[in-house]
Chain A
Amino acid sequence: MAALLGRSCRKLGFLSSGHGARRTVSTETGKSLNLYAAINQALHIALDSDPRSYVFGEDVGFGGVFRCTTGLAERFGKNRVFNTPLCEQGIVGFGIGLAAMGNRAIVEIQFADYIYPAFDQIVNEAAKFRYRSGNQFNCGGLTIRAPYGAVGHGGHYHSQSPEAFFCHVPGIKVVIPRSPREAKGLLLSCIRDPNPVVFFEPKWLYRQAVEEVPEHDYTIPLSEAEVIREGNDITLVGWGAQLTIMEQACLEAEKEGISCELIDLKTLLPWDKETVEASVKKTGRLLISHEAPITGGFGAEISATILERCFLKLEAPVSRVCGLDTPFPLVFEPFYMPTKNKILDAIKTTVNY
């Protein structure tokens, strides 16, 4: 129940960069936008700034099932913004071909749950395109966008967080924004980055998250984590929608005298080890939280790396608060999810170890 309440309070006031945190985005104010509107703005800017850029995928023509591509076809024409047949391996393969010819191919996979038919094209082709050719060819202009994560009622096939599969693939980048303002800047960086990128958008936040988003063209650097809340007792690391839950846990922990430092990883591959390492060397404790199932999840990579780098500074084992090792369930979603209270419990256990 608390989890559901927590989710319904997911307005973005909580997630704006906290006191003293490193600011990586211009503080210039803009309009209040939700996540899909911010992504839409990024796509408008991307297509406007490079005439050799394309947006395509299933149903993007009319605006997309999540409205991220609204207005693009009308503005840039059906030659540049178009629907494709229902075939993810075709969508990504076609995008690789376009990108290999020097274009920017911004591809949409309708739900991250359906990205798997394209896994061969992403792993065996896109990720290795530059390396295997001795840098004669590359498909750096490829950006794959996909909505991911829990939405309250999505079940097995509209809720998955598949980021871990992709973090294991040298040659691609994996980026996950936490909010509208972040999403716009990160997406523009991904589109312009000369490497193929998989960009997972937290679908829960498409409408729920509202934030002031600067209207101009700006980018947020990849592979730079951000400390969005400073603290001294424990470091928490997360990405995407989960950060809102984690921040609520941090606020409650503070009432009990526990000072939490919260880090948004943003780019999972290649990830910013230095920022997390510096934080854990300060706090001596680490907690990682993600919606994806715990076994083999990306939290394991962060845990292993931090253990190697910070072993003697650690006061407690690294804690992971994650999804259960089950397919994403429907009626059991509140039990499956890494909730605020599960995180709070883990914070206390870690601090009291």
Chain B
Amino acid sequence: MAIWFARSRNLISSLRHNLCLSSTILVKRDYSQRPVFTTSQLSSTVFLSPYVASLRHESTAAEKQLDLVQHSDDQEDALQELDFPGGNVGYTSEMKFIPESSARRIPCYRVLDEDGRIIPDSDFIPVSEKLAVRMYEQMATLQVMDHIFYEAQRQGRISFYITSLGEEAINIASAAALSPEDVVLPQYREPGVLLWRGFTLEEFANQCFGNKADYGKGRQMPIHYGSNRHNYFTISSPIATQLPQAAGVGYSLKMEKKNACAVTFIGDGGTSEGDFHAGLNFAAVLEAPVVFICRNNGWAISTHTSEQFRSDGIVVKGQAYGIRSIRVDGNDALAVYSAVRSAREMAVTEQRPVLIEAMTYRVGHHSTSDDSTKYRAADEIQHWKMSRNPVNRFKKWVEDNGWWSEEDESELRSNTRKQLLQAIQAAEKCDKQPLKELFNDVYDVKPKNLEEQELGLKELVERQPQDYPPGFHV
């Protein structure tokens, strides 16, 4: 029926007379139906600054930027709409395909230039000296922690490690922008968020050694941290599974009327998983307050983003789900801070998901099981490590403000290094988990089959201790 009407205006006019058609079919285009990305009035809270207000209006400008459909409306077409189950749509007689990509890529929001100077007329949320220094210290601590744990793996002291080198700004600045009640569902390259929230170097070391003090009770590989005290869900290796879970977490927070949201991380590779689609779609449809942060670091192990997707990165996928999105320079701590802070406010006050694509580069190998020089140029890695280093960039800004000195720097680095070496030594010496922890927590209460298996294993270990590693007390 719709095609028949589209043929000619004269036909439509005569039909209108003859068939007494409902006027809803030939109504003037109603713009109230179009999705408009304005924010509602945010409840006034002390820490929101005028800068946030200006950022809010920027989101509607984004809508216009993302408008891929080029209407070649003539006056007459603009008056005609069709109603379908999804709502009214205007129609056009011009057959025009939406291009596979925009003429221009979505620009990247940044505040600091490569020399650590604020770009004039930037929108950003100001950061106090205290906050800035803390952020810098944590970024540097994360760097030192990564280097030392990586070395510990090389020396055979821990079995595995994943660094976050190059992504310190995303880790720390995003964490700084959240409230402690926001529930974090990480992928695995976000230990900085846990560090920010107060997880100690000793606690990190304990998990890596899987010793008696590990909250995870030695059950998972190193770096699979989790802490309910810090609202940081335990990491699992499967990629993107946390995304639909984050939608459920956000929904729960909404139902309980908490001033909190779910925040979940994913890499560029993870966005190819079905769970990415599931997570974003559910969060949008069910109106869950979730901030999705995608660390687009260019590589999924050896797979470059050119082999991962053909879209303009991840940010353009947000609109496909009806999700407000922004692309940010992930190596700019101030930009990440402002973007995450704003996104978090939108998520909580408007009870909707928000997508942030943080552009960055994975300076380290994928993990200690990887040698990335096998699939990418060594000078590419060097370039990002030296000239595009987020820690140095932020350091320059903090130093330029007179808030940080070289003495502070060497003191922080040597103290952190010392503390880490001590933590590793202590963790290594610490008792192992007792053997009973192999059988606990499979269910809330141990079922009969596990009771039997535990008895059987105890007897076996006592009879043939040489088959088993020492130190696991029965």
Are the chains A and B members of one assembly? yes
Partner pick for A137 among B234, B241, B274, CB 8 A cutoff = B234
Q: Is B224 an interface residue (CB 8 A)?
A: yes
B215 touches A97 (CB 8 A): no
Q: Is B192 an interface residue (CB 8 A)?
A: no
Contact residues of A between 185 and 205, Cβ < 8 Å to B: 194-195
Known: A84-B282, A270-B448. A134 touches B217 (CB 8 A): yes
CA distance A86 to B250 in the complex (A): 20
What residues on B are CB-neighbors of A84 within 8 Å? 282, 285-286
B443 touches A171 (CB 8 A): yes
B441 touches A124 (CB 8 A): no
CA distance A124 to B275 in the complex (A): 13
B246 touches A273 (CB 8 A): no
What residues on B are CB-neighbors of A299 within 8 Å? none
CA distance A94 to B185 in the complex (A): 13
Q: Which residue of A lies closest to B285 (CB)?
A: A85
What residues on B are CB-neighbors of A137 within 8 Å? 226, 228, 233-234
Q: Which residue of A lies closest to B207 (CB)?
A: A134
Q: Which residue of A lies closest to B215 (CB)?
A: A134
A271 to chain B, nearest CB (A): 8
Q: How many B residues face the partner with a CB closer than 8 A?
A: 47
A94 touches B219 (CB 8 A): no
Q: Is A49 an interface residue (CB 8 A)?
A: no
A89 touches B219 (CB 8 A): no
Q: Is B255 an interface residue (CB 8 A)?
A: yes
A124 touches B241 (CB 8 A): yes
A98 touches B249 (CB 8 A): yes
Q: Which residue of B lies closest to A305 (CB)?
A: B449
A299 to chain B, nearest CB (A): 17
Known: A96-B248, A97-B248, A136-B228. A90 touches B282 (CB 8 A): yes
Q: Is B368 an interface residue (CB 8 A)?
A: no
A138 touches B444 (CB 8 A): yes
A97 touches B226 (CB 8 A): no
A134 touches B447 (CB 8 A): no
Known: A130-B441, A131-B441. A93 touches B248 (CB 8 A): yes
What residues on B are CB-neighbors of A140 within 8 Å? 444
What residues on B are CB-neighbors of A117 within 8 Å? 274
Q: Is A11 an interface residue (CB 8 A)?
A: no
Q: Which residue of B lies closest to A51 (CB)?
A: B255
Partner pick for A85 among B238, B251, B282, CB 8 A cutoff = B282
Partner pick for A124 among B224, B228, B238, B282, CB 8 A cutoff = B238
A79 touches B248 (CB 8 A): no
B251 touches A89 (CB 8 A): no
Q: Is B245 an interface residue (CB 8 A)?
A: yes
A93 touches B219 (CB 8 A): no
A133 touches B279 (CB 8 A): no
Partner pick for A132 among B220, B278, B282, B448, CB 8 A cutoff = B220
Q: Is A217 an interface residue (CB 8 A)?
A: no
A93 touches B245 (CB 8 A): yes
Fill in one digit per residue for A83-120: 1 if any B CB lies within 8 Å of its CB, else 0.
01101011011111111111101000000000001001
What residues on B are CB-neighbors of A273 within 8 Å? 448-449
B234 to chain A, nearest CB (A): 4
Q: How many A residues face the partner with a CB closer than 8 A?
A: 47
Fill in one digit per residue for B3-31: 1 if any A CB lies within 8 Å of its CB, else 0.
00000000000000000000000000000
Q: Which residue of B lies closest to A56 (CB)?
A: B286
A170 touches B442 (CB 8 A): yes
Q: Is B345 an interface residue (CB 8 A)?
A: no
Q: Is B360 an interface residue (CB 8 A)?
A: no
A194 touches B444 (CB 8 A): yes
Q: Is B243 an interface residue (CB 8 A)?
A: yes
Q: Which residue of A lies closest to B444 (CB)?
A: A194
What residues on A are CB-neighbors of B166 within 8 Å? none
Known: A89-B278, A194-B444, A270-B448. A94 touches B241 (CB 8 A): no
Known: A100-B249, A133-B216. A120 touches B234 (CB 8 A): no
Known: A98-B252, A103-B252, A120-B241. A93 touches B442 (CB 8 A): no
A89 touches B274 (CB 8 A): yes
CA distance A194 to B442 in the complex (A): 11
A132 touches B219 (CB 8 A): yes
B245 touches A96 (CB 8 A): yes
CA distance A137 to B242 in the complex (A): 14
Contact residues of B between 200 and 239, Cβ < 8 Å to A: 214-217, 219-220, 224, 226-228, 233-234, 236, 238
Q: Is B253 an interface residue (CB 8 A)?
A: yes
What residues on A are CB-neighbors of B215 within 8 Å? 133-134, 136
Q: Is B440 an interface residue (CB 8 A)?
A: yes
What residues on A are CB-neighbors of B444 within 8 Å? 130, 138, 140, 194-195
Fill in one digit per residue for A223-259: 1 if any B CB lies within 8 Å of its CB, else 0.
1000000000000000000000000000000000000
A125 to chain B, nearest CB (A): 5
A20 to chain B, nearest CB (A): 26
Partner pick for A125 among B238, B440, B442, B443, CB 8 A cutoff = B238
Besides A87-B281, A135-B441, 19 new A-B residue pairs in contact (Cβ under 8 A), listed by A number: A89-B274, A90-B277, A90-B281, A93-B247, A94-B286, A96-B248, A97-B245, A97-B246, A97-B247, A101-B249, A102-B252, A121-B241, A131-B219, A132-B219, A132-B220, A132-B226, A136-B227, A136-B228, A171-B442
Show the binding face of A for B, using Cβ within 8 Å.
52, 79, 82, 84-85, 87, 89-90, 92-103, 105, 117, 120-121, 124-125, 128-138, 140, 170-171, 173, 194-195, 223, 270, 273-274
| 12 A-B pairs whose Cβ atoms sit less than 8 Å apart in the complex | A84-B286, A90-B247, A90-B279, A96-B248, A120-B238, A121-B241, A121-B244, A131-B442, A132-B219, A132-B236, A134-B214, A270-B448
